[in-house]
């Protein structure tokens, strides 16, 4: 009988600042854990130094960057996860 009883409005709520997570116990057998959102800039996973790029542009929910090596790279704007790259061969980038 106790298996199906929800904790209800008096659920346990924990803010872990050392691990930057919120935890909420919504039933006796279920705990919701989510990261604490912050206002810091997202880091693009696998991105090099800013000096290695000609520029960045946000297109929809993607960040697109052109490396000086001729690689066009994309990341997810919200997670910073690397999504792919394409080699640009037919454009002369030497004057930039």
> Tens digit of pLDDT for each residue in 60-88?
999 999 998 889 999 998 888 999 999 98
* pTM metric for this prediction: 0.55
CA distance 37 to 15: 12
> What pLDDT, on a 0 to 100 scale, did the predictor assign at position 17?
60
> What pLDDT, on a 0 to 100 scale, did the predictor assign at position 2?
39
Residue 2 DSSP SS3: helix
Percent of the chain topping pLDDT 70: 67
CA distance 90 to 96: 15
What pLDDT digit, counting tens, does each position of 19-50 carry? Answer: 677 777 767 677 777 777 765 566 788 888 88
Is the Cα dihedral 45, 46, 47, 49 positive or negative?
positive
């Amino acid at each position: 009988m106790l298996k199906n009883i929800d904790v209800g409005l008096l659920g346990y709520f924990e803010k872990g600042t050392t691990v930057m997570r919120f935890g909420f116990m919504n039933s006796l057998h279920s705990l919701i854990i989510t990261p604490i959102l912050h206002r810091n800039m997202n880091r693009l996973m696998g991105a090099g130094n800013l000096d290695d790029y000609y520029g960045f542009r946000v297109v929809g929910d993607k960040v697109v960057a052109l490396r000086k090596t001729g690689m066009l790279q994309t990341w997810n704007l919200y997670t910073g996860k690397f999504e792919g790259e394409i080699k640009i061969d037919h454009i002369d980038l030497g004057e930039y």
